[in-house]
Amino acid sequence: MPQEHTQATWLSLTPEDTEQIGYRLGKLMRAGDTVLLKGKLGVGKTQFARGFVRGASGDDAVEVTSPTFLLDNAYATKGSAVTVHHMDLYRIRSAEDAALLGIPHVFRSGICIVEWPQRLEGAGAYPPEHLLVQLVSEDDLAFPREMLPSLTAHSVHAVPHTGVGGAAGHGAEYADAAAAAHASEEAVGPSVDVEEDHFARAVFMYGKGQRMLSLVAELERSMPLLPEAPLPRELR
């Protein structure tokens, strides 16, 4: 019986790293591919999505804006008729809402990255084959902190990082940032999700379906991985 899902983890030490991981993933996309993007406010979903859209569209200079109010920002791709969709589904509440956006058709015909994908579950529109991407900050309990001593060996660019070492030694600045990062998505709603701290990020990717398995494997060949990182509870 063929394997149906797989998981891999990358480290990001800077916002540029986060964008680069999204960009490299976007480069591998084709029509019908859907990425579900999760993470708390401030963890870097905006950077990841910007890199993804630029990689998938083939336009490194395209201005990528938040789809919070429009729900779906569409971008043309260079050299193809495929459209890249950056969606924020915070306001989706039902199957009727999803149908009005044309979500089933968009998933089949376009390249999609979706924020607030949990809304699709309630609307009965969850794509059966997808790549779930979870961004977790170093100050989060789900972060694979045991890997911090060797962090620079596994990052995308292996750049120095001021936050290595976890909570010890960070004092009030760490506590303030941690408190802000732990505000739940449900409580604060959608927002521009820009990294404004110096913490590392773990980028978990969980592929469902054979196509997504091949994408994860291709990324593993092109980028260094964080070894043996545990899967966050919400992805299990």
pTM over 0.95: no
Residue 177: give the domain boundaries: 5-228
Residue 193 lies in a domain: yes
Q: In what order do the strands lie in the sheet with 130-137?
A: 5-12, 201-208, 130-137, 34-38, 111-115, 83-88, 72-76
Picking from 85-89, 102-106, 130-134, 195-199, which range would have the lowest pLDDT averaged per residue? 195-199
User: 233 or 29: which carries more pLDDT confidence?
Assistant: 29
pLDDT mean over 202-219: 91
Q: Check whether 184 has a pLDDT greater than 80.
A: no
pLDDT of residue 166: 26
User: 166 or 116: which carries more pLDDT confidence?
Assistant: 116
**Rounded to whole angstroms, how far apart are CA atoms 112 and 132?**
12
Task: Give the Å distances, CA to CA, from 152 to 101, 138, 147, 202, 216.
Answer: 42, 14, 10, 13, 22
For residue 161, which amino acid is it?
Answer: H
Residue 67 lies in a domain: yes
In whole angstroms, what separates CA 15 from the centre of its chain? 13
pLDDT mean over 126-136: 90
Query: How many domains is the chain partitioned into structurally?
Result: 1
β-pair partners for 77: none
**Rounded to whole angstroms, how far apart are CA atoms 97 and 94?**
5
Residue 204 lies in a domain: yes
Residue 235 lies in a domain: no
CATH of the domain at 40: 3.40.50.300
Please write the tens of the pLDDT for every residue from 55-110: 999 999 999 988 877 789 999 999 899 999 999 988 887 878 888 888 888 999 99
Tokens standing for residue 16: 């540029």
User: 162 or 195: which carries more pLDDT confidence?
Assistant: 195
**Rounded to whole angstroms, how far apart are CA atoms 1 and 234?**
26
Residue 178 lies in a domain: yes
